[in-house]
Amino acid sequence: MQLAATPPAETPPRTGGLLALIDGTPGLLTVAVLGIALLLFLIIKVRLQPFVALLAVSVAVGLSAGLSVTELFGTVQKSSAVSVIESGMGGILGHVAIIIGLGTMLGAILEVSGGAEVLSQRLLNLFGEKRAPLAMGLTGLIFGIPVFFDVGIFVLAPIVYAAAKRSGKSVLLYAMPLLAGLSMTHAFLPPHPGPVAAAGLFKVSLGWVILMGLVVGIPAVIAAWAYSAWIGRRIFVPVPQDMVEAAEEAKAAVVAEQQAAGVEPREDPVPLGTVLAIIGTPLVLILGATFSSIALDPSTPRSVIEFFGNPFVALTIALLLAYYLLGIRRGWSRKSLEKVSTSSLKPVGNILLVVGAGGIFGAVLKGSGIAAALAETFDNVGLPVIVLAWLISVVLRVAQGSATVAIVTTAGIVVPMVQGQDVSQAHLALVIMAISAGSIFASHVNDGGFWMVAKYFGISERDTLKSWTVLETVLSVAGFAVAALLSLVVP
């Protein structure tokens, strides 16, 4: 089944705005186009922080489309009415902040405990030297679930150096599969910010997002691995000695920091089964709750399963397991656990603010009537929503570089197109997958990830475009293709 871009219920024209110079659908569409152009200008040319840019554009678009100052900001004497900005920010962060916070702390404990190194070494031993690139890909895929993309590169890059140095082959042969795995989980799977934010905006269960993320993401990452094998044998990149030395210094600094926090490194490695159990626990619990809502009638057993499968509860259980199995049982003090957890949350503030500003942008589009005008216009274009979702996300991604900005902005535009339609959570999850796939298309020089890959693996800009940029494009197109095909049969 293809979801058509049917417009939501008509929103009456706005007339009370400070800059209410427009009327009707053409005027609203003009405001929308100018607003997105302004957003891109502020981020690309002015280099304004994305949170500030999204917030400023949301206010400008709202006022221009006819929202009053009171509707946007509320009154000085607060009444029961909630302003557009408050509802947009609060509505999305109430869903996203807890999940991202818990997931970030879980990833930090797995990182500091040495779980990534154990996972990679066991997979390398299992697959052998000839299949080491596949082992690196699986390492990125599994370890990428609980950790951010940049953290995954930082932790796993030394293992790539070691594998390339031992074999004498190109760094690309080992780095690209690893990056494909990390990028796939970052784009398609919770608790990463993009899919979690989109799930909140679309009001889709995380269980469906996880399920469709796996169904869509696994074929996509296999296609990316195939390209990795091809390009890794055609471009030789030597092991970057300066980054090897920097990695050793960074590792020594991490060890010193752990010791200062009361974490004494142990010689015996973390059991692989423990690492896999901790990573898999929240996924299994959340998926269990999703399937129970389909297979079981309302009952006490279903309520229990749904309680433990609530994302907040499931991630808390996984985090407590990590605290005990990787921390307390291995000699960590409670103080060291607290320090590691707290320090891991420092980079999260920017992500949450950008997501919240994206929620404001979506609320402004809906409240001003622009969303209804966009939905009507896209319906006349004749393209299915899932195709439009991917195309809009691709344009925003290529233009300004940030995957998170591309996702939250696209979701704000697309959500009104599907409201009020009789479609399943599974189908909406596929639309989210299309948006997520678009958000990683053609990573190039305006994306921080492009420079991180080039720097950590010693790849020239030209070769990074040939390898990493094309790899991201393959991952994006393959993921979208699978999502679009599934949308034909998922009601």
Q: Tell me the range of 14-23, 147-156, 177-186, 442-451 where mean pLDDT is highest.
A: 177-186
Residues 287-297 pLDDT 10s:
999 999 888 88
Q: Which of 113-117, 242-246, 362-366, 487-491 has the lowest mean pLDDT?
A: 242-246
- Using one digit for the tens of pLDDT, what is the confidence trace for 408-423? 999 988 988 887 778 8
What integer pLDDT is reported at residue 422 of this predicted model? 80
Q: Which amino acid is at 53?
A: A
DSSP H helices, 233-369, are 241-260, 272-295, 300-309, 311-322, 334-344, 348-368
pLDDT score, position 15: 44
Measured over the CA atoms of residue 343, residue 139, residue 210 and residue 8, the dihedral's sign is: positive
**Helices 206-232 + 272-295 axis angle, to 10:** 130
- pLDDT at residue 332 in the model: 82
**pLDDT score of 181:** 97
- At 376 the pLDDT is 79
Place of tokens 């015996």: 268
Q: What are phi and psi of 214, to 5 degrees?
A: -70, -45
> What pLDDT is stored for residue 335 in this prediction?
83
pLDDT for 12: 46
Q: By C-alpha distance, which of 80, 60, 79 is closest to 20? A: 60
What's 367's DSSP letter?
H
The per-residue pLDDT of the chain, averaged, comes to: 87
SS3 291: helix
Contact 189, 279 (CB under 8 A): no
Residues ≥6 apart with Cβ < 8 Å to 218: 184
CA distance 151 to 111: 8
Say whether pLDDT at 105 is over 60. Answer: yes
If you compute the radius of gyration of the chain from its CA atoms, what whole number of angstroms results?
23
Q: Is the pTM of this model over 0.85?
A: yes
Separation CA 219–CA 230 (nearest Å) = 17
Q: What is the pLDDT of residue 372?
A: 81
pLDDT at 9 over 60: no
Token pair in block for residue 368:
């001003």
Give the pLDDT of residue 267: 62
Residue 8 pLDDT greater than 90, yes or no:
no
Q: Please give the angle made by the CA atoms of 63, 67 and 70, to the nearest 5 degrees.
A: 100
- Asked if residue 191 has a cis previous peptide bond (ω within 30° of 0), the answer is yes
Lowest average pLDDT, out of 103-107, 109-113, 321-325, 442-446, goes to 109-113
Asked whether the predicted pLDDT for residue 129 surpasses 80, the reply is yes
Q: What is the mean pLDDT of residues 244-273?
A: 68
- Select from 274, 247, 217 the least CA-distant residue to 480: 217
Task: For 450-466, write each residue's pLDDT tens digit.
Answer: 999 998 899 999 999 99
- Name which of 56, 48, 85, 108 is nearest 348 in CA terms: 108
Read off the pLDDT of residues 296-336 as tens digits, 9 standing for 90 and up. Answer: 888 899 999 999 999 999 999 999 999 999 988 888 888 88
Task: Give per-residue pLDDT as tens, 371-381.
Answer: 888 877 877 77
Q: Tell me the residue length of the chain.
A: 491
* Helix, coil or strand: residue 452: helix
Amino acid identity at 346: K
